[in-house]
Structure 1
Amino acid sequence: MTAPERPSDWFVTGGSGGSGAPDAPRVYCFAHAGGDPRSFLAWGTELGDEAQLVAVCPPGRGHRAAEPRPTLEEFAEGAAAAVHARESDTGGARPVYLFGHSLGGLVAFETARRLRDLPGLRHLFVSGISAPALAPSRRVLELAALDGREFAEQLRFFDGFPPEIMEHEDVLDLLLPGVIADFRMAAGYRYRPAAPLNVSVSVIGGRDDAYLHADKMRKWTDECRTPPALHWVDGGHFYFRDKSPKAVTDLLLDAVRADRHIEVI
């Protein structure tokens, strides 16, 4: 794995919480299609000093908007190389956790595959996404072929743009290109079988998420050395936006505390 020239470009940190102690575990977060990686930083107040929250920003998004957008595989390869480079200060032993929602969950999975030799990788959390072997779904392929207002209308299935956005064409025109580009990234994904992950895996889904089905979620078992923990939570596709990020952050904190307890013993 080749380290990127500027691994820091891949990461965004900040906020009043989630900065943790200098040697605190790090939680790397991957956003959904069209999502702003910085939106995760607000979750830092829930993590307090127990973990550092780091948002992963790929080329073509956020402060890297001028860079060419990668394929999903290129995104995962670059993110994994950047994490490797950043964690080299502890010899790769610092506890590391990955979280990704929807498209971000698929990227986080592929990143975890590329971080098998990172000693500190402890847990992968994937949210709002069916098993990778089922991707891309027919619905994602169909949606990725659309443009403009037609795309925005069909995005409703994924709890897409709220009504106030749909009513303002100028705002919609500003947001649509990034979401469409990410859906086309997802449509270009091609699953390749590989050895199951050795790390613990938690799969999170909203009970009212029309995109998810229990059978599709259970197939995550094929990707894990030990059976993944499946968590159904209240809400739709963006359950953490509808309710509270605690549905995720409580699980993150449970994992961090459990690992810390094991290390003490």
Structure 2
Amino acid sequence: MTTPAHPADWFVTRGPDTPKTPRVYVFAHAGGDPRSFLAWQSALGKEARIAAVCPPGRGHRAAEPHPTLEEFADGAATAIRAAERETGGAAGRPVQLFGHSLGGLVAFETARRLRDLPTLRHLCVSGISAPARAPSPRVRELAALEGREFAERLNFFEGLPPEVMAHDELMDLLLPAVIADFRMAAGYRYRPAAPLEVPVSVIAGRQDAYLHPDRMREWKDECRTPPAVHWVDGGHFYFRDTSPRAATDLLLTAVRADQHTEVI
């Protein structure tokens, strides 16, 4: 029997923090290293603190079994709730969730599980179609593949860079995590539920071949208030093409709007 992870095992953060500093919990894309998002902290400055969410089966949690998407969201919600309870519950710091691609779907399901968390203020999803559309046929087909065939088909999602594709050793090192995450996504089953009460923002790259306005419109069915949809320059990984400002500026805007509301 696997010992449940301590809540602290779920997150990595960078820099000083205070009990009142707004916290942005970030969920990485398939195969993504959660720690890579800590580089966004410089754009947030002292106004908010990033906490990268570390899934079971990866990094320092490699000994744990890979979860289903639902198990990942269950565990993340439990850990976030525990972390926020330590800072004072309803009087604690404001919380945002951000997720890119697969991480956006996990962040959405985590938000569903945190409906009663009074400090949850904003959900921002990036590079992901409406949950009712998941998993797409392309994701299901890709999740059934192995090895180089998987890697080559992953190019549609702007997957592994050429320098990785050219080295079998790097492929052997990186592919298992990506394949496991795609199989997690392929196993997802959407279940209708009450719309989210918190504001929802959606970011999509204009050159993202995977996303189309028709695939995005159904996000409105998941929110009490229509989501703010932001089309930005770039592809699926728009934040690699130029800078993460399209995402970090949006997160900062939400932080500042919430603080303004609190003052009023």
- The TM-score, its normalising length taken from structure 1, stands at 0.96
Within-5 A mapping of 1:170-209: 170-209=169-208
Q: What residue in structure 1 maps to residue 9 of structure 2?
A: 9
2:32 partner SS: coil
List alignment gaps of at least 5 residues for structure 1.
none
List alignment gaps of at least 5 residues for structure 2.
none
Confirm or deny: 8 A CA contact 2:20 2:94 kept in the other structure. Answer: no
User: 1:262 deviation in Å?
Assistant: 1.0
Distance 1:8 1:68 in 2: 18
Distance 1:148 1:227 in 2: 41
Q: What residue in structure 2 maps to residue 38 of structure 1?
A: 35
* Aligned pairs, number: 259
Distance 1:5 1:105 in 2: 22
Confirm or deny: 8 A CA contact 1:21 1:50 kept in the other structure. Answer: no
Q: CA offsets, 1:24-43, max 9 Å, x none?
A: 10000000000000011000
Q: What residue in structure 2 maps to residue 68 of structure 1?
A: 65
One-letter identity of the residue aligned with 1:134: R
Q: CA offsets, 1:69-89, max 9 Å, x none?
A: 100000000000000000002
Q: What residue in structure 2 maps to residue 26 of structure 1?
A: 23
1:198 partner SS: coil
Q: What residue in structure 1 maps to residue 218 of structure 2?
A: 219
Confirm or deny: 8 A CA contact 2:19 2:93 kept in the other structure. Answer: no
Confirm or deny: 8 A CA contact 1:21 1:51 kept in the other structure. Answer: no
1:195 partner SS: coil
One-letter identity of the residue aligned with 2:89: G
Confirm or deny: 8 A CA contact 1:132 1:220 kept in the other structure. Answer: yes
Q: What residue in structure 2 maps to residue 169 of structure 1?
A: 168
One-letter identity of the residue aligned with 1:6: H
Q: Moved runs in structure 1, 4+ residues, more than 6 A?
A: none
Farther off after superposition, 103-112 or 90-99:
90-99
1:143 partner SS: helix
2:203 partner SS: strand
User: 1:198 deviation in Å?
Assistant: 0.2
Q: What residue in structure 1 maps to residue 108 of structure 2?
A: 109
Q: What residue in structure 1 maps to residue 45 of structure 2?
A: 48
Distance 1:118 1:22 in 2: 16
Confirm or deny: 8 A CA contact 2:7 2:83 kept in the other structure. Answer: yes
Distance 1:22 1:38 in 2: 22
Distance 1:233 1:121 in 2: 25
One-letter identity of the residue aligned with 1:91: G
The answer to whether the aligner puts 1:236 opposite 2:235 as a matched pair is: yes
Q: What residue in structure 1 maps to residue 152 of structure 2?
A: 153
User: 1:5 deviation in Å?
Assistant: 5.5
Confirm or deny: 8 A CA contact 1:37 1:62 kept in the other structure. Answer: no
User: 1:20 deviation in Å?
Assistant: 4.6
2:190 partner SS: coil
Q: What residue in structure 2 maps to residue 257 of structure 1?
A: 256
CA 5–210 in structure 1, closer or farther in 2 if over 3 Å, else same: closer
Aligned residue among 79, 83, 98 for 2:80? 83
User: Once superposed, what is the RMSD of the aligned Cα atoms?
Assistant: 1.0
2:124 partner SS: strand
Confirm or deny: 8 A CA contact 1:206 1:234 kept in the other structure. Answer: yes
